[in-house]
């Protein structure tokens, strides 16, 4: 395959999409591949669902909380059984596609290489459990085969990434009707016929039974039809094209109609069937299609067919009269683009709801001036058939609120309709055309901005979700402070914005400052347009720009600048969407400013309660990490401590429940108590028992867990006590790791008389202990035991070396999470005795 040629890649994608639909009960499948910069997933191929139906989901930021992106990042299948589970787990997707459907997203990968994701969608029923496990395994197998094939293409130097500017490969779902075509080459003078294999099938013959003559080929044709066709051939002049219908007997009782399209060539002395005459063409068997078209033409109700893109492919004469349109003017166009009174987004939403949910949808619409029409849309994976009948208007002129699409399988009577059957009856006669897909995408991006807590998160939404959604490559946010602009966040090439907005006065004549001071967004579609408005200003590498004023509560916040690598004519929809998002960005930044101020105070308090540095100990190396939760302003109660006590050292990790100032204050008191009891020389069980009594006496209403280990620095003997806490991990010198399933007592603060048993063990030189809080091992959708085992495996497989590097390795996955609800504390201790240390002894007690 030549460099840049994606033919083989596209063939693989199409095959996988088709297989995904056929192996599951889905009606649509989509294949997303990573972009060249690996910041986005690009829709590369679809089966059953055209890109227009997906709207803003042609380009999905890798960091977005959308199932396809999550499957790509995590390497795991995301299975959503129905709309309720979609809303619960991925509300942003439910906002953008508010229809009842189930979905599964599977990563495309080969070993450690991630190429994209495969998604399949199916219709759901109440109580549906989604795909059976066997079908999920088949879907994963299909994705794995595609991932392996993409890896082989990449190894051969062929492109596997997808350019967002290229169109996705679209494969329509198989329809009910199939067309068969046979090729014909007939010499009337000899009666010899040359044809392909389909020719015999169209005429109802077995290939072996065909004798190669026209007479044998047409043995089952109604004699009168055959005679008429021969007569036309004899009368035809050279080059004439003939069209003729032939009725073919299927058996003694049934027959069907085929169409014969041929071109007659006369090179002999005379026309007709004499020497030199050849008849070349095709025989078309349209199955039931032609009869179906004739049947709907006879109906008095209006009938239409829409493809999966919403374009009219068929309508009968009755519908022409009901809609007052001409067939040739509307075929191939979207009905809501043709008829102004169907241009409201509500009507396009009904079509999308029918196609995505695969349920019958009904609604009313008023054709000006006062003719009400009842529409019923009946979908299947290949498109939508609609029935339209005139009805009496609703009894009230008050617009009803939009309701969830409901099935309406019963046939419409030709008389009056009840208002209850069509709750969405009253709509404006004429509505401006808006892009429904764009509207839903703005809602999704707005939802993402409302969830952004810090200024950094707002910048991430702009860079990783808003920017790719509109096809941009660079973004920068500047805040207005003391009459000057200061850079807050930037993504993309620095040279893309050579406008020197950093430190620029708000009075300067620059695009970013003028947009902010005027309050009007500035859309610059080309370098020439920028030069015309601002002569002499450098353009940099970008070819189009957007400057959005960020204003919240009538106060200028700053400017958001977007850059595009190509000239970009901005549509009305894009301008409206970006203008709306500018206001949401400003509000999000204002909230983030308040959060950052209060959060800095809270984090400062928590940092003051944790050790500033760990003590230097003979024969023992230690390393610790603390990660606060990424959500919310409240601080947590996780803590760790290393307390020297003579020839031993106490290793302590604990967790006070909740996230509040009270939890942090209680944590500080417990840490101080444990440290005091330890330095006083009390045994480990006495330390934990005393700390428990203190928590009960404080009457804070909070509980806490704790893991306390006393390690003898000379002998390696350990005395461990556990109070409702996660079990510690032990890595042996040879690299194996195990979970220390130690007996323990209840949580601290439950009962002042609780007992906490001591558990002895002895470390070999080179052994590593790992103590941690549950935030490191808890993950939504999986049990804590699985999380502990994953941490054990990570500890076992980590390279030997620096303890600090090991701590970073164990926290690597947690640091990458953007929505970590709980705090994390991790304490590592390595036993490294000097040669003069006491030999390790086995002991059965502490």
How do residues 238-251 score in pLDDT, each as one tens digit?
678 888 888 888 88
- pLDDT given for residue 245 in this prediction: 83
Predicted confidence (pLDDT) at residue 685 exceeds the cutoff of 90: yes
The tens digit of pLDDT for each residue in 61-96 reads 888 888 999 999 999 999 999 888 888 888 878 777
b (16+ CB within 10 A) / e for 434-473: bbbbbbbbbbbbbbbbebbbbbebbbbbbbbbbbbbbbbb
Query: Which tokens is 431 given?
Result: 């509505």
Predicted confidence (pLDDT) at residue 210 exceeds the cutoff of 50: yes
Percent of the chain surpassing pLDDT 70: 84
State how far the Cα of 652 lies from the Cα of 722, in Å rounded to an integer: 10
Lowest mean pLDDT among 189-198, 252-261, 409-418: 409-418
- pLDDT given for residue 394 in this prediction: 61
Decide: 471 and 564 in contact? Cβ < 8 Å.
Answer: yes
Predicted confidence (pLDDT) at residue 433 exceeds the cutoff of 50: no
State how far the Cα of 203 lies from the Cα of 369, in Å rounded to an integer: 52
State how far the Cα of 300 lies from the Cα of 298, in Å rounded to an integer: 7
Q: Looking at per-residue confidence, does 434 or 504 come out higher?
A: 504
Helix axes 661-679, 684-698, angle to 10 degrees: 140
Predicted confidence (pLDDT) at residue 539 exceeds the cutoff of 50: yes
DSSP β-bridge partners for residue 738: 730
- pLDDT given for residue 398 in this prediction: 39
User: Mean pLDDT across the stretch 268-289?
Assistant: 70
Average pLDDT, the chain: 82
DSSP assignment string, 372-428: EEEEEEEEETTEEEEEEEEEPPPS--SPPPP-------SPPPSS---GGG-TT----
Predicted confidence (pLDDT) at residue 268 exceeds the cutoff of 70: no
If you search the block for the tokens 């617009």, which residue do you land on? Answer: 399
Residue (of 654, 627, 641) closest to 813 by Cα position: 627
At 158, is the secondary structure helix, strand, or coil? coil
Lowest mean pLDDT among 10-14, 33-37, 283-287: 283-287
Decide: 108 and 153 in contact? Cβ < 8 Å.
Answer: no
Provide the H-helix boundaries in 214-334.
214-217, 223-235, 289-297, 317-323, 327-330
User: Mean pLDDT across the stretch 751-772?
Assistant: 94
User: Mean pLDDT across the stretch 408-427?
Assistant: 35
If you search the block for the tokens 């984090």, which residue do you land on? Answer: 603
- pLDDT given for residue 423 in this prediction: 36
8-state DSSP, 36: T
- pLDDT given for residue 690 in this prediction: 95
- pLDDT given for residue 32 in this prediction: 94
* Helix, strand, coil percentages in the chain from 3-state DSSP, rounded to 5: 35, 30, 40
State how far the Cα of 601 lies from the Cα of 78, in Å rounded to an integer: 38
Cα Rg of the chain (Å, integer): 36
- pLDDT given for residue 79 in this prediction: 94
- pLDDT given for residue 386 in this prediction: 93
- pLDDT given for residue 439 in this prediction: 61
Predicted confidence (pLDDT) at residue 740 exceeds the cutoff of 90: yes
pTM for the model:
0.53
The tens digit of pLDDT for each residue in 603-635 reads 666 677 778 789 988 999 999 998 876 554 456
DSSP assignment string, 306-355: E-TTSBEEEE-HHHHHHHT--HHHHTTSBHHHH-GGG-SHHHHHHHHHHH
Query: Which tokens is 798 given?
Result: 């980590």
pLDDT band at 755 (very low <50, low <70, confident <90, very high): very high
Distances (CA, A) of 255 to 77, 228, 286, 644, 726: 51, 18, 13, 98, 77
Predicted confidence (pLDDT) at residue 2 exceeds the cutoff of 50: no
CA 357 to mean position of chain CA atoms? 18
Predicted confidence (pLDDT) at residue 404 exceeds the cutoff of 70: no
- pLDDT given for residue 426 in this prediction: 32
The tens digit of pLDDT for each residue in 801-815 reads 789 999 999 987 665
- pLDDT given for residue 734 in this prediction: 92
Distances (CA, A) of 6 to 10, 132, 313, 319: 6, 34, 31, 43
pLDDT band at 269 (very low <50, low <70, confident <90, very high): low
- pLDDT given for residue 291 in this prediction: 67
- pLDDT given for residue 813 in this prediction: 64
DSSP β-bridge partners for residue 278: 265
Distances (CA, A) of 705 to 592, 637, 667, 833: 33, 10, 11, 31
State how far the Cα of 367 lies from the Cα of 390, in Å rounded to an integer: 10
The tens digit of pLDDT for each residue in 329-357 reads 899 998 888 898 998 878 888 888 888 88
- pLDDT given for residue 756 in this prediction: 95
Backbone angles phi, psi at 166, to 5 degrees: -90, 150
Backbone angles phi, psi at 595, to 5 degrees: -65, -45
- pLDDT given for residue 400 in this prediction: 37
Backbone angles phi, psi at 506, to 5 degrees: -65, -15
Decide: 454 and 590 in contact? Cβ < 8 Å.
Answer: no
Pairing relationship of beta strands 40-47 and 169-171 according to DSSP bridges: parallel
pLDDT band at 664 (very low <50, low <70, confident <90, very high): confident
- pLDDT given for residue 428 in this prediction: 31
């Amino acid at each position: 395959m030549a460099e840049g040629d994606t033919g083989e890649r596209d063939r693989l994608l199409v095959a996988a999409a088709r297989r995904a639909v056929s192996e599951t009960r889905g009606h649509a499948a989509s294949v997303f591949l990573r972009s060249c910069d690996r910041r986005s997933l690009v829709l590369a191929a679809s089966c059953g669902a055209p890109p227009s139906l997906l709207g803003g989901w042609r380009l999905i930021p890798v960091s977005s909380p959308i199932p396809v992106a999550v499957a790509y990042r995590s390497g795991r299948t995301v299975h959503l059984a129905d709309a309720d589970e979609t809303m619960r787990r991925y509300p942003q997707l439910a906002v953008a596609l508010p229809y009842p459907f189930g979905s599964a997203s599977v990563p495309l990968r080969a070993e450690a290489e991630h190429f994209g994701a495969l998604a399949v969608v199916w219709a759901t029923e109440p109580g549906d459990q989604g795909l059976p496990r066997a079908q999920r395994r088949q879907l994963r197998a299909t994705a794995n085969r595609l991932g392996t094939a993409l890896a082989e293409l990449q190894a051969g130097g062929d492109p596997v990434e997808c350019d967002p500017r290229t169109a996705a490969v679209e494969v329509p779902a198989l329809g009910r009707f199939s067309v068969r075509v046979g090729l014909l080459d007939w010499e009337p003078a000899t009666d010899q016929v040359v044809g392909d294999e389909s020719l015999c099938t169209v005429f109802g013959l077995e290939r072996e039974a065909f004798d190669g003559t026209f007479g044998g080929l047409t043995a089952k044709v109604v004699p009168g039809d055959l005679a008429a066709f021969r007569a036309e051939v004899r009368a035809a002049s050279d080059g004439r094209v003939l069209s003729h219908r032939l009725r073919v007997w299927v058996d003694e009782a049934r027959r069907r109609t085929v169409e014969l399209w041929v071109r007659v060539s006369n090179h002999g002395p005379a026309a007709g069937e004499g020497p030199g005459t050849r008849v070349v063409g095709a025989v078309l068997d349209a199955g039931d299609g032609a009869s179906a078209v004739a049947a709907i033409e006879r109906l008095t109700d209006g009938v239409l067919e829409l493809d999966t893109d919403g374009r009219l492919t068929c309508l009968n004469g009755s519908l022409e009269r009901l809609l007052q349109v001409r067939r040739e003017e509307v075929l191939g166009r979207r009905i809501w683009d043709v008829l102004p009174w169907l241009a409201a987004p509500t009507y396009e939403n009904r079509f999308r709801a029918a196609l995505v949910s695969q349920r019958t949808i009904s609604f009313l619409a008023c054709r000006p001036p006062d003719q009400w029409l009842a529409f019923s849309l009946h979908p299947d994976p290949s498109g939508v058939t609609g029935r339209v009948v005139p009805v009496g208007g609703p009894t009230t002129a008050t617009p009803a609120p939009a309701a969830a699409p409901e099935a309406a399988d019963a046939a419409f009577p030709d008389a009056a309709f009840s208002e209850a059957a069509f709750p969405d009856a009253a709509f404006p006669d004429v509505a401006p055309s808006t892009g429904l897909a764009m509207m839903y995408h703005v809602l999704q991006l707005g939802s993402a901005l409302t969830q952004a807590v810090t200024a950094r998160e707002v910048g991430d939404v702009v860079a990783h979700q808003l920017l790719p959604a509109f096809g941009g490559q660079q973004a920068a946010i500047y805040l207005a402070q003391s009459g000057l602009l200061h850079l807050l966040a930037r993504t993309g090439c620095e040279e893309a914005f050579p406008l020197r907005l950093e430190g620029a006065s708000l009075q300067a004549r620059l695009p970013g400052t003028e947009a902010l001071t005027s309050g009007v967004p500035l859309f610059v579609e080309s370098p020439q347009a920028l030069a015309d408005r601002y002569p002499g200003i450098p353009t940099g590498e970008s070819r189009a720009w957007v400057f959005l004023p960020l204003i919240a509560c009538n106060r200028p916040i700053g400017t958001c600048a977007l850059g595009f690598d190509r000239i970009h004519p901005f549509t009305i929809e894009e301008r409206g969407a970006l203008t709306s998002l500018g206001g949401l960005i400003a509000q999000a930044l204002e909230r983030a400013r308040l959060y950052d101020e209060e959060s800095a105070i809270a984090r400062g308090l928590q940092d003051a309660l944790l050790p500033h540095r760990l003590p230097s100990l003979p024969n023992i190396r230690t390393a610790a990490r603390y990660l606060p939760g990424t959500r919310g302003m409240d601080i947590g109660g996780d803590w760790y401590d290393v307390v020297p006590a003579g020839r031993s050292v106490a290793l302590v990790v604990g967790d006070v429940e909740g996230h509040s100032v009270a939890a942090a204050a209680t944590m500080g008191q417990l840490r101080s108590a444990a440290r005091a009891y330890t330095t006083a020389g009390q045994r480990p069980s006495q330390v934990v028992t005393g700390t428990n009594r203190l928590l009960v006496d404080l009457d804070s209403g909070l509980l806490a867990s704790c893991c306390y280990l006393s390690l003898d620095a000379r002998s390696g003997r350990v005395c461990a006590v556990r109070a409702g806490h996660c079990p510690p991990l032990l890595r042996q010198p040879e690299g194996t790791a195990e979970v220390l399933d130690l007996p323990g007592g209840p949580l601290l603060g439950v009962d002042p008389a609780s007992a906490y048993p001591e558990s002895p063990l002895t470390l070999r030189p080179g052994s590593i202990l790992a103590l941690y809080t549950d935030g490191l091992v808890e993950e939504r959708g999986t049990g804590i035991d699985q999380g502990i085992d994953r941490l054990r495996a990570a500890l076992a497989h980590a390279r030997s070396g620096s303890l600090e590097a090991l701590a970073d390795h164990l926290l690597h996955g947690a640091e990458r999470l953007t929505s970590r609800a709980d705090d994390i504390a991790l304490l590592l201790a390595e036993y490294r005795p000097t040669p003069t240390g006491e030999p390790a002894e086995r002991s059965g007690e502490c």
